Structures are given as structure tokens and as C-alpha cells.
Structure 1
Amino acid sequence: KQTNNTTYVSVNTATRLMVAKITFNHMANDTATVWLDPNPDHGDNQAWTVCRATVTGDFSFSQLAYRSGNIPDLNGWEFDEVRFATDWRGVVTNLPSLRQGVMIKVQ
């Protein structure tokens, strides 16, 4: 698609797993970390090759919204599942299988 004489092309249609952890601290800054495609068995101790972002601040909230990008016609995401839990296993247990590549059976 084209906007403002700039062409944008979506090149990634892979299924992704995003896990976010918010640590609320009374009378201090809260911490939030988001991982992209983490290993479900490694919890907070993900390899440094796993994309992550960590921020601190006041994360009190009373609403939750999803947004994908700044130009609605060019930035569409589909969300199919949202989980809330008090620990890592609660959000990564019984995950749907993600396609990791092509498997060839040789006889």
C-alpha cells in the first residue's frame, strides 16, 4: 500500500507469541517486560537472542486496549488469544503449535 509517497509492504505473516510481565511495586516504579517468541520453558531467564523490551514507570491502569501501528490501513494485526495469570506457566501452558519450519521424513 502507498501513503504520503511512501510504500509499505508487510513481509512477515508468521504467528507470534508475545508474553508480557508487569511487576507492580507499592510506592515505587513498576517494571514491565515484553518478550517476542520466548521459549515457554525458560520463564524470565530467556536467552539474549530472544527479543525483549523492559520499561519502568507507573503502570496502574483500569482499561486494556490493543493498537497496531499509527496508520490503520497499513498496520493490521489479528489477536486470537489473550491470557492473564499470576505466573509464567499460567500463560504459556497448552500453547497452540507454532510452525517452526519444514520437516522432511526420509525413509
Structure 2
Amino acid sequence: MAWFYLVCAGLLEVVWAFYMKQSAGFTRLTPTIITGVAMVASVALLSISMRSLPLGTAYTIWTGIGAVGAFMIGILVLGEAASPLRILAAALIVSGLVLMKLTSS
């Protein structure tokens, strides 16, 4: 169950990153509220997952999901550049996440 909470926490990190961008520096109310709620929920779920997962594993997976997810949303939704080097960098992050999962007990 800890891994489920951790993945949900990571996905909520993507949500708050996207809505933080949409908030235009916290000048738009609705995206600002969504950002705050998603942040709190993300950290709460991360905390719950850390009851049974090691700190290093949980935090690495959480930030990795957030980083790669925000990268993908940036490309797919916001039209940001998808250069080969940026895609390679994201693939390396995903490789690290897989290795972290495979080596955690």
C-alpha cells in the first residue's frame, strides 16, 4: 500500500506543478487554490508512504515522478521543447527510478 500512496503523492506533485504555472505567480485564485491543496495532499501521502519505505527511496521516487511528469506535461500540454537531449535526460531519470525500485527491500 505504501507504493500506491507514493505514486499518488508523485502524481499530485505533477498536478501542483502544473497549476502553479497556471496561477501566474499566484495571481489567479483557482489555480492557486488547486496548487495549495495538491501540495498538502502530496506531502501528506509522501509522509504516509514513509511509514514503511526508506527515506531515500520514497523521496527519490516522489521527486522523480514529479520531475518527469512535469516535463511530460510541459511538452504535451504547454508546448515546451522536446529536444533529444531533454528526452534523454528524462529517460535517465526514469532509469534511476526503476533502479531505485528494484533495489529497495
Q: TM-score range by the shorter chain?
A: under 0.3
Q: Which has the larger radius of gyration?
A: 1
TM-score, with normalisation over the residues of structure 1? 0.23
Determine which structure has the larger helix proportion and give its number.
2
Structure 2 length normalisation: TM-score?
Answer: 0.24
Which structure ranks higher in relative contact order (CA pairs < 8 Å, sequence separation ≥ 6)?
2
